[in-house]
Amino acid sequence: MHQPHAEPRRSIYYQYQVHAPWLASAHPPQDRKKVVIVGAGPIGLFAALELARLGVPSVLLESELQVSEGSRAIVFTRRSMEILQQVGVDAPITANGLPWRFGNSFYRGQRVYRMEAPHDPDDRFFPMINLQQQYLEQYLTEAVLAHPLIDMRWGNRVTRVDPKDSFVRVDVDTPEGPYSLESDWLVAADGARSGIRAMMDLKLEGASYEGRFVIADIRIDLPLPTERLAFFDPDWNPGNTILMHREPHGIWRVDYQLPADETPEQALAPESLKARIDAQLAMIGHGGTPWAMDWCSVYSARALTLPDYVHGRVLFTGDAAHMLPIFGVRGANTGWQDAQCMAWRLAFVVRGLAPESLLQSYSSERVAAAWEIIDEAGKSTRFMTPPTRGFRLLRDAVLSLSLSQPFVGPLYHWRTSRPHEYTHSPLNSAGDDNGLFKAGPGHGAPPQNIRLGADDYLLDHLGGSFDLLYFTDGPAIPEALRKVVAATRAGGVPMRVVAVGAAEPVAGADLTLADADGHFRQRYGVLAGGAAYLLRPDQHICARWMSLDAGRLQSALKTALGGAASTVSIQRGA
């Protein structure tokens, strides 16, 4: 019988809550489920919430009884906050996190590069915000437990997965013994050590790097700003790299690279941790400042991905699908993009609005994103942890030059995680005017946020359906377009129309956004009325037109739905 850890984990700043295990004996016999999600980390929790927002129930299986131990993922990007806003957890993160936008690289006591992430008045969220993963999981868990479409099952460990042609059988162990569960679809969100991936004998592709880092969270009072600090080749850790981040509640993250011949056990010995953290504090001028350890671990840099995230009725997402280096905050931030990309497609398939083949575009989009990230992260990783003597010589040359040559500084840039643009997605419209636009988000890109008022932004109103941004000063959406929208909705496909530009409500639009100064139209590259953007339910652009007519909209919707059978009703209703 599975016996999860039943005592609250220890922390000097976070109070862990132990949840009661879900036991089959206390519930009626199990019918076949629509979706089962394995793993209640940040990605699995979000996936359940996003599916529920789209009307799809799920069972969420978590082997433990409490949120994860240690701060783990701590830096969340602007795009991640826009994604988390969709499921209503952005407010507590904003209220309790530490926003920032600058990063500093130091060599031999000199700052050799300062990164500045862009931020303008149209952005609701800062480029980055720091918050320990326990809090993030807590906010997501609270939302999950409050949602009637999500069946959260603590203390349930998956021991066997048996994929069939039309469903998946799952064997689950609990503190009172095993039970079996059948589901139309299984989502593997069970992390880097994915048991589902191992059970299905699936192999990751890519590279593992020799460099290992200790990750230590300490409580200490340091009079330093909330900015990323990176130190290269310090005297106390020659040839290696140290990173520091401020966290909420008086906690600082210290990541330092280990010598190649040191084992994790040696590195985590209390005397080793104390000596190295004391040396780092002394180097930055705060030696002797009292500190206390909260949590520590050892991390190895890997850049790996599955070649396919869809295996029959089993879908992989987050770290279960790929393992990415921490440099550039790519872990959870990439995973949320995975889950958002997957969830709307899976919801449409479950609800009969799209064919199962639509899920293949999830895999193609996100595998391409993973390889792009691996390429970028590999450059950062090879700079942080040179894998060969040649790379080390090159890195050391850059370090030396940076002391006197400012042009070398940008080579320190850590290539921060960014939202992938699905430029070559099969869901993009081939017959639109994408190439004619001189500004604005293009094919596959997430939308540019626009500030509409004191606490009102464009992305507050988009997502979860197909959104048509129609730019007009006129009193009404053209009748032919309204017929296509009506037929789309009649086929069960959620769709909203947002009119942009008019001072008064526009007939046929669900929302009208005035644009008296033309700022919205300028940011989106719109030159005249009748232009439009079509956004997928995950907010990414799938079509844009300088002038939209009914036939082009109808064609774009059909493409974005993967040739869904439901588009027949759209054609008949147009």
Rounded CA separation 554/247 (Å): 49
Phi, psi of 160 (to 5 degrees): -155, 140
Phi, psi of 330 (to 5 degrees): -100, -10
Strand pairing of 58-62 and 33-38? parallel
Q: Which of 434, 425, 445, 432 is CA-nearest to residue 541?
A: 445
Rounded CA separation 480/551 (Å): 9
Phi, psi of 20 (to 5 degrees): -70, 140
562 and 357 Cβ atoms separated by less than 8 Å: yes
Per-position pLDDT tens, the chain of length 574: 999 999 999 999 999 999 999 999 999 888 999 999 999 999 999 999 999 999 999 999 999 999 999 999 999 999 999 999 999 999 999 999 999 999 999 999 999 989 999 999 999 999 999 999 999 999 999 999 999 999 999 999 999 999 999 999 999 999 999 999 999 999 999 999 999 999 999 999 987 765 789 999 999 999 999 999 999 999 999 988 899 999 999 999 999 989 888 999 999 999 999 999 999 999 999 999 999 999 999 988 788 999 999 999 999 999 999 998 766 566 899 999 999 999 999 999 999 999 999 999 999 999 999 998 888 766 666 666 676 777 777 777 777 878 777 777 676 665 556 788 999 999 999 999 999 999 999 999 999 999 999 999 999 999 999 999 999 999 999 999 999 999 999 999 999 999 999 999 999 999 999 999 999 999 999 999 999 999 999 999 999 999 999 999 999 999 999 974 333 333 333 3
E strand or H helix that includes residue 172: strand 168-174
The per-residue pLDDT for 14 is: 98
- The amino acid that residue 512 corresponds to is T
Q: CB burial class (10 A; 0-12, 13-18, 19+) of residue 181?
A: buried
Tell me 332's DSSP state.
Answer: H
- The amino acid that residue 100 corresponds to is W
The per-residue pLDDT for 569 is: 35
Q: Which of 327, 315, 401, 404 is CA-nearest to residue 361?
A: 315
434-560, what's its fold?
A: Glutaredoxin (3.40.30)
The per-residue pLDDT for 391 is: 73
The per-residue pLDDT for 411 is: 65
425 and 538 Cβ atoms separated by less than 8 Å: no
Q: Where are the alpha helices (DSSP H) in 302-357?
A: 331-350
Q: CA neighbours within 13 Å on the CB side: how many for 95?
A: 6
Q: How many Å is the Cα radius of gyration of the chain?
A: 25
299 and 217 Cβ atoms separated by less than 8 Å: no
Which part of the chain has CATH 3.40.30.120? 434-560
The per-residue pLDDT for 400 is: 80
Beta bridge partners of 571: none
How would you list the strands of the sheet with 75-77, edge to edge? 75-77, 128-130, 98-100
The per-residue pLDDT for 292 is: 98
The per-residue pLDDT for 328 is: 56
19 and 175 Cβ atoms separated by less than 8 Å: no
Task: Name the superfamily (CATH) of residues 24-97+127-204+303-375.
Answer: FAD/NAD(P)-binding domain (3.50.50.60)
Tokens of 290: 């009292």
88 and 45 Cβ atoms separated by less than 8 Å: no
Which part of the chain has CATH 3.50.50.60? 24-97+127-204+303-375
